[in-house]
Amino acid sequence: MRSPRPTRSAGTFEYGMWLFTRISGLALIIFGAISLGIGFALGGRQYLTMPAMFRWMFFPNPNHIVNSNIPDVTLGWSNAFWQIYSMLMIFLATVHGFNGLRMVLEDYTKRPLLIAILRGLTLLLLLGGIIVAIYVILAS
Amino acid sequence: MELSRSVSILSGLRYRGRAGMLTWLLHRITGLGILLFVGTHVTVSFFGQQFGDDLAFAINSVYESWQFQIFVYFSVLFHAMNGSRLAVMDLFPALIRYQRELIWLQWLMFVPLYGLPVYIMIQNALSGV
């Protein structure tokens, strides 16, 4: 029998990230399903390739979708709704992903100094990713 | 109780956690894979867009190939399905007793949801559509 996991008490950083991982994971699935459905409704049903569907699902902005051969791509996708939608998704996805990376790294690291350095590097990558993504969203 | 993290690779391989160990391992590998893929794709697209770098377009065309998409689809679908199962089990802790059955149900749903699109992708690729 395995020993039970240490319980997480509410209010700590680890508990917050544990909860955030669940909520953001479910939210990303729902967001992806909604923008895939709207991609179909805007004429994407004719171009069913896997990369095109991933483009509608996970980063719906004109710059990204222009590669998937949908006609009139700028009419449907270039407005504030999709800009906010993309930014929200980018925030959820990057924090979810880099928190996962942090958890994996901390599973195999013991020294506190190394953990602190790795946390700092992960935070830098997270911020860099968010800044690049927001630049792409606003520039397109 | 503190969990010991310093386990040798050999005893790690000998540990038999059955279905739950396989999904844990796959969740971790697919998660890191998605992070690596999305991270490089964003970086490379940024350089391609800003500086017209040839290497960037070459890497992105590999990412769009059907051979690569088979792995991407596996990772995203498995990570999403396994993550939903974990979230549902955390919402309703009574379900944790039936983890084995839930994992079987998950694989039962995963096989057609993964196999059918991949079958169509390979068929289209080989017939040159």
More confidently predicted of A63 and A135: A135
Chain-chain contact of A26 with B87 (C-beta, under 8 angstroms): yes
Main-chain dihedrals φ then ψ at residue B95, nearest 5 degrees: -75, -15
Q: Is B89 on the interface with A (CB under 8 A)?
A: no
The continuous run of DSSP H or E covering B12 comes out as: helix B9-14
What's the CA gap between A58 and B120, in Å, rounded? 22
What's the CA gap between A97 and B35, in Å, rounded? 6
Q: What is the pLDDT of residue A127?
A: 94
Confidence of residue A107 (pLDDT cuts 50, 70, 90): confident
Q: What is the pLDDT of residue A109?
A: 84
Mutation choice for A interface testing from B43, B62, B64, B79 by most A CBs within 10 A: B64
What the block records as the tokens of B33 is 């894979």
Q: What is the pLDDT of residue B54?
A: 86
Q: What is the pLDDT of residue B78?
A: 96
Q: What is the pLDDT of residue A92?
A: 95
Q: Which of A89-93, B11-15, B32-36, B89-93 has the lowest mean pLDDT?
A: B11-15
For residue range A72-94, list pLDDT tens digits in order. Answer: 666 678 888 989 999 999 999 99
Share of chain A above pLDDT 90, in %: 43
* B106 in Cβ contact with B79 (< 8 Å): no
Query: Which residue matches tokens 């508990």?
Result: A15
More confidently predicted of A4 and A51: A51
Confidence of residue B129 (pLDDT cuts 50, 70, 90): low
Nearest Cα residue to B116 out of A26, A69, A48: A48
Q: Is B73 on the interface with A (CB under 8 A)?
A: yes
Is the per-residue pLDDT at B1 higher than 50? no
What's the CA gap between B94 and B90, in Å, rounded? 9
| Beta-carbon contacts of residue B77 (< 8 Å; ≥ 6 apart) | B110, B113, B114
Mean pLDDT throughout B51-55? 84
What's the CA gap between A134 and A89, in Å, rounded? 11
Nearest Cα residue to B26 out of B85, B74, B96: B74
Nearest Cα residue to A92 out of A125, A126, A60: A126
Is the per-residue pLDDT at A6 higher than 80? no
Nearest Cα residue to A33 out of A99, A89, A96: A89
Which of B57-77 are b and which e, b meaning 16 or more Cβ less than 10 Å from the residue's Cβ? eebbeebbebeebbebbbbbb
Model ipTM over 0.95? no
Q: Which amino acid is at A39?
A: G
The backbone region for B6, taken as left when phi is positive above 0, alpha when psi lies in -120 to 50, beta otherwise, is: beta
Mean pLDDT throughout B100-126? 93
Q: Which domains, ranges and CATH numbers included, belong to chain A? A: 13-139 (1.20.1300)
For residue range A25-73, list pLDDT tens digits in order. Answer: 999 999 999 998 888 888 777 777 888 888 888 888 777 776 666 666 6
Residues of B in contact with A125 (CB under 8 A): 39
Distance of CA B98 to the CA centre of its chain: 23
Residues of A in contact with B8 (CB under 8 A): none
| CATH architecture of the domain with range B18-127 | Up-down Bundle (1.20)
Chain-chain contact of B1 with A104 (C-beta, under 8 angstroms): no
Domain layout of chain B by residue ranges? 18-127
